[in-house]
Amino acid sequence: MNKYGRRHQLTIRIGPIAADRLRQVAETFDMKPATYVKALIYKDLGIFNEPLDRCKRSRKPELEDWELHESFEE
């Protein structure tokens, strides 16, 4: 048991329009939709000291244009 006690799981159903908008706004903040909803609930309840269990999302490195350096040119 962690220092915050037992956790409870809640399940909600949302429609396709809400699901699409939730996905878009969660991507804006680099979060999963469920984590974004949890953050909103905590904000509305005034809970700012409980962790969100947020795992850092890995980003693929952007590929840069490969250019030959002057030292490699013949």
10-44 pLDDT per residue, tens = 899 999 999 999 999 999 999 999 989 989 998 99
Region of poorest pLDDT, from 2-6, 18-22, 23-27, 61-65 = 61-65
In a domain, 70, yes or no: no
Region of poorest pLDDT, from 23-32, 40-49, 52-61 = 52-61
d(CA 39, CA 50): 10
What total of structural domains would you count in the chain?
A: 1
**Where in the sequence is the domain holding 30, given as residue range(s)?**
8-53
d(CA 57, CA 60): 10
Q: What is the pLDDT of residue 37?
A: 93
Q: Is the pLDDT of residue 54 over 60?
A: no
Note whether 31 and 23 are within 8 A (CB). Answer: no
Banded model confidence at residue 60, pLDDT cuts 50, 70, 90:
low
d(CA 51, CA 65): 40
In a domain, 20, yes or no: yes
Q: Which is nearest to 50 in space by CA: 12, 14, 8? A: 8
